[in-house]
Amino acid sequence: MEAGNRKENELTHLDRAGRARMVDVSGKAETVREAVARGTISMNDAAYRAVREGSLEKGEALAVARVAGIAAAKRTSELIPLCHPLRLTTVAIDFSFDDATHSIDVEARAKAREATGVEMEALTAASVALLTLYDMAKALDKAMVISNIRLMYKSGGKSGTFIRNEE
Query: 163: Cβ–Cβ under 8 A, 6 or more apart, which residues?
Result: 152, 153
Using CA atoms, how far apart are residues 20 and 149, in angstroms rounded to an integer? 24
Is there a catalytic annotation at residue 98? no
- Candidates 45, 98, 99, 135; catalytic one: 135
CA distances (Å), 65 to each of 19, 106, 120, in order? 36, 9, 18
Is residue 4 within 8 A of residue 27, CB to CB? The reply is yes
Using CA atoms, how far apart are residues 156 and 34, in angstroms rounded to an integer? 7
Enzyme catalytic residues: 135
